[in-house]
Structure 1
Amino acid sequence: MNRIVLLFLVSVLLAACSSGGDQATSPPDALVHPEWSRNAVIYEMNVRQHSASGSLRSAQADLARLKQLAVDVIWLMPIHPIGEVNRKGGENQDNFLVQPGSTSLGSPYSVKDYKALNPNYGSWEDFDAFVSAAHDYGMKVIIDWVANHTAFDAKWTTDSIGMGYYLLDEARALQPPTGTDWVDVAQLDWANGETNGLYDAMEEAMAFWVREHDIDGFRCDVAEKVPIAFWNRVRRTLESIEPQIFMLAEAEIPEHHDRAFDASYAWEFHHITNKVAKGEMNADSVRAYLNREADKFPSSAYRMTFVTNHDENSWKGTAKERYGDSVRAMAVLCGTAFGMPLIYGGQESDMDKRLRFFEKDTIPWGQYQSMSFYRILNDLHHRYSALHNGEFGSPAVQLVQQGDVMYYERSDGEYAVRVLINLSNKQVEFVPEGLEGYRSTFNRQNLSRTTWDPWAFEVFAKALK
């Protein structure tokens, strides 16, 4: 009897100690970045245009090359079935609503069914094989998620429950998002999403892709138009399925980084680099921005930097059109000043073509002219911890405070990286100081160079241990 009592008391004490320990060490409800993301580079894949067939099988065949490009995350533009009602076709700037039976493919951002795959891209077996192959190469797969709106003939519009998710007009009809020309999509009612069932339905649709098809995260279209409360909620749900989930917001809102999103678009920085290339701004503008960035966003935030993406290419112009001869200099700036770099499919071939947004328009790959350049840049991001994403890297310290030359250092005690970029269209004289023990990345002669051509650049690095 005494032995039983003793065992009971011991078990109670152990349980109390265990419970107390859990309370003392349990982590707060905070966003934790996936471990694999700390030095990751993103590659945006436009499946429709990536190959002549526009299929996932063809895209899968290119994964070995993308591994050689040293990218880590494959972001697939929307792969859902596309709506037919109010479908857009034609040219980017001269588009129109097509007639029934048209061969126009429409906008991939007009989603008909969140839990289905566009048959033009292949079967579920093809998709799962793509994800599995990417994982075998050590790469992750995220898919584009269009949560703000759907196609007018989306699956949700076929019953009264689904229709309750939409923001209807005075005639109780579907309507496009206000203030846009997105006439091919219908606005969802996010203001009442918690009570009308939209939160639950959208959350389940996103969870489906993680649970059933092993994807690693989402790039969330126009994320600022969806309540942060939903993003916070769905992040927690997705983490319960896959703790290493990754979320990218097409937005530039600091609060998105509190709990929901690992990464967001560095839109303002992108627009500044375009203006620098045109001579409308200069290196001082970039330095001022970097100071604002540090004040505005938490150090833990991943900020995605880029010279092009699908929107910029189709609507604003190719990288060559917007940057001219400064493309590589701006890519080096994006890859080293701060942030998480993005490469858009075709960028490694210096694609100078505005891809058609609503029609088939295969990327002209050529000879992959800039493959080596971007591989070197991505390798730098992997190799040197000072260049890693968010708080895993180190902030840039400006070594010169004015003039056309950007000269900055990122150092974390293990590695020191110095970057020099002539952000002007004229030759400049500049002697980079303090390079003892450094090696140059692109051209060893740059260690002793004092005259820098327009848009010239170099990355110097050394180990500190």
Structure 2
Amino acid sequence: MTLRYPNLLSLLAALLLITTACERRVDEEMLSTTTPETSDLAVRPNIPDWHKDAVIYEVNTRIYTPEGNFAAFQEHLPRLAEMGVDLLWFMPVHPVSEKNRKGELGSPYAVADYRAVNPDFGTKEDFKQLMAAIHAAGMHAIIDWVPNHTGWDNAWITEHPDFYTKKDGEITDPINPDTGESWGWTDVADLNYDNAEMRDSMIAAMAYWVREMDVDGFRVDVAHGVPVDFWEQAANALYAIEPLFLLSEGAVPAIVNNGAFVMDYGWEMHHTLNEIAKARGANRNVQTDVSNIARAEGEEMDEVTALAIDEQLAKQRADYKRGYKMQFTSNHDENAWAGTEFQRMGDGALAFAVLTATFDGMPLIYSGQESGIDRQYEFFKKDQLEWGDYKYADFYKTLFDLKERHQALWNGEYGGELKKIETSNDEMVYAFTREKNGDKVAVMINLSGEPQRVTLDGGDFAGTYTEVFSDQAMELTEGMAVELEPWGYRVLSK
């Protein structure tokens, strides 16, 4: 065959350069049209309305089904919608790096390609079909984003080595700034946020998932490890595309107060709940990694009581000027490294779940909690949830339906302020009301393994309510006595 173009290789090379330049120009144009010159985040973060009463559910695709893929997970959408789930958070959907990986399958947080889908989960088309099904079911979805580091075989390593932090002239894994030593995350390489081109590339990759893959936002891993000014830059670009929901894994007030993130983790509250469980003898996992809140105050562990909840709530109100917390009894980190909710909270697991579902903030449940699975799952290799009969699905549905019906329990400023009901034993019983626009909910929880009989000594709580789990009427009056069984609870709707 005679070649029409004698220098075909040169022509192909030129076309490749043109294509690459066009792709780069598209990214640059995307950023130039979506990044305002000045930030107005302090005034107008672009957040969707649906988050106001939402409940979030974390999806661990790898272990969720025997197939461990998007198509198999999609079969669970009807029951999750029925349970009252509004927002699905997918752990990283990207390919996992093979170089320096830990375990058989590696960490999902060692991203090999920000614009690709993990082939174990399916294809991009499979993901798009899943997103369409989620939206058709009246739910929304965010994906985990990992901006702090990449896997070691990410294309940026060879194409843009200047995108990474160097130590002794070599790309390094993430370093603890307090000690100068490695965090031990040797399967990932640390990104350098002093590099403006890397920042632009990161934002362009995030924008791709909004524009092309139809995600509703991001849960951002190690958001606290990335400079605050990057989140202003990124949020401005992303919010200019469409309303989005951004969740920070950390607990850094600055990136919520500036409007970049609408929600972050209630880590300190969660650790406080773990400490209360341990102090009351409920904790049966000696390896639980709980906070040092009590010890930092010079108290013994067995002195931690329900009063510590008020201390954390007061601190939160002082530090945060906007946004709200995600409240939880478990998540993938807790399950893998600290223990199940039953190992950490024992017989009090459901009592603490009632608290996190009615407290100030958005409640989270992790894959499998609706079945009460008391098992830690493998993080670096294939494992599988043991679903059983979903024995706690109705329990969560009752709480989530209550949240949707009653504006008093909506998230952050959209719900009612939490006000304490004073009892004769506030160290063991945590009681409160929340009220908004005529909706009122009263909650009383025995946070101990002993039966409690308390009098209601003070607060704006009097009235006739319906207890949501028993559907029985209950009258609350000043000075009345209430009996609660060990780890018992009453959730009252008015």
1:290 is aligned to 313
Alignment of 1:63-78 (within 5 A): 63-78=77-92
Distance (whole Å) between structure 2 residues aligned to residue 295 and residue 307 of structure 1: 24
User: RMSD in angstroms over aligned alpha carbons?
Assistant: 1.7
Residue 305 of structure 1 corresponds to: 327
Instruction: Confirm whether residue 458 of structure 1 aligns to residue 490 of structure 2.
Output: yes
Determine the structure 2 residue equivalent to 1:268: 268
Which residue number corresponds to residue 204 of structure 1?
A: 204
Q: Is the 8 A contact 1:435 1:447 kept in 2?
A: no
Mapped pair 1:417 → 2:419: no
Say if 1:169 and 1:175, in contact at 8 Å, map to a contact too: no
Aligned twin of 1:320: 342
Aligned to 2:119: 119
Partner amino acid, structure 2, of 1:458: R
Aligned with residue 340 of structure 1, among 362, 365, 376 = 362
Aligned-pair CA distance for 1:32: 4.3
* 1:177–1:185 Cα contact (<8 Å) kept: no
1:238 counterpart SS class: helix
Question: Aligned with 1:164: secondary structure?
Answer: helix
Show the counterpart of 2:4: none
Kindly indicate whether the alpha-carbon contact (under 8 Å) linking 1:219 and 1:249 is maintained by their aligned counterparts in 2: yes
- Choose which of 402, 411, 423 in structure 2 pairs with 1:380: 402
CA drift at 1:347: 0.5
Letter in 1 for 2:441: V
SS of equivalent to 1:342: strand
Q: Partner amino acid for 2:485?
A: D
| Superimposed CA distance per residue, residues 156-204 of structure 1 (whole angstroms, 9 cap, x where no aligned partner) | 1122xx21100022133443444311010000112x132xx11100000
CA contact (8 A) 1:422 1:452 kept: yes
Matches within 5 A, 1:55-454: 55-89=69-103, 104-159=104-159, 162-178=160-176, 179-190=182-193, 192-194=194-196, 197-242=197-242, 244-257=243-256, 258-279=258-279, 280=301, 281-298=304-321, 300-400=322-422, 402-432=426-456, 434-444=461-471, 447=474, 450-454=482-486
Q: Which residue identity does 1:153 align to in structure 2?
A: D
Deviation at 1:395, TM superposition (A): 1.4
CA 1:209/1:81 → structure 2, altered by over 3 Å: closer, same or farther?
same
What do the CA deviations read for 1:352-410 (whole angstroms, capped 9, x no partner)?
11110000011111110100001111111111101111100111111116331111111
| Cα distance between partner residues in 2 of 1:173 and 1:260 | 29
Partner amino acid, structure 1, of 2:467:
S
- Give the aligned residue type for 2:379: F
Q: CA–CA distance in 2 between the matches of 1:219 and 1:253?
A: 14
**In 2: Cα distance, 1:128 partner to 1:204 partner:** 19
2:427 partner letter: G
1:396–1:410 CA contact under 8 A, matched in 2: yes
CA pair 422-155 structure 1, distance change in 2 beyond 3 A: same
Superposition deviation, residue 317 in structure 1: 0.4
Pairing 1:31-70 to 2, within 5 Å after superposition? 31-70=45-84
| Residues 41 and 232, structure 2, Cα contact 8 Å, conserved in 1 | no
Moved over 3 A (4+): 26-29, 173-179, 431-435
CA distance in 2, matches of 1:176, 1:407: 43
Number of corresponding residues: 416
The alignment partner of 2:345 has SS state of helix
The structural deviation recorded for 1:29 is: 4.2
What does residue 21 of structure 1 align with?
A: none
Q: Which residue type is aligned with residue 351 of structure 2? A: A
SS in 1 for 2:189: strand
Partner Cα distance (2:394, 2:94) in 1: 33
1:443 and 1:458 in contact (8 A); partners too:
no
Q: What is aligned with 2:28? A: none
Distance 1:184 1:167 in 2: 15
* Mapped partners of 1:396, 1:347: distance in 2: 26
CA distance in 2, matches of 1:265, 1:39: 17
Structure 1 distance, partners of 2:198, 2:405, is: 43
CA contact (8 A) 2:41 2:259 kept: no
SS at match of 2:240: helix
Quickly say closer, same or farther: Cα 1:267–1:261, change in 2 above 3 A.
Answer: same
Residue type matched to 1:384 in 2?
Answer: H
Which residue identity is paired with 2:318? D
Mean alpha-carbon deviation: is it higher for 308-317 or for 380-389? 380-389
1:457 counterpart letter in structure 2? Y
TM-score, scaled relative to structure 1: 0.86
SS of aligned partner of 1:338: coil
Say which SS state the counterpart of residue 129 (structure 2) adopts. helix
CA distance 1:174–1:404, shift in 2 (3 Å): closer
Code of the aligned partner of 2:50: W
What SS is found at the alignment partner of 1:142?
strand
* Secondary structure of the structure 2 residue equivalent to 1:438: strand
Instruction: For 2:471 and 2:406, locate their aligned partners in 1 and report how far apart those are by CA, in whole Å.
Output: 18
| Inter-partner Cα distance in structure 2 for 1:168 and 1:206 | 24
Query: Does the residue aligned with 2:195 lie in a helix, a strand or coil?
Result: helix
Unmatched 5+ residue regions in structure 1? 1-25, 90-103
Match of residue 23 from structure 1: none
Quote the offset at 1:339 in angstroms: 0.8
Deviation string 1:284-324 (CA, Å, 9 cap, x unpaired) is 111222222222212x3121000000000000001110000
Aligned residue for 2:170, secondary structure, equals coil
Q: Hey, what does 2:291 align to over in structure 1?
A: none
Q: Secondary structure at the match of 2:53?
A: coil
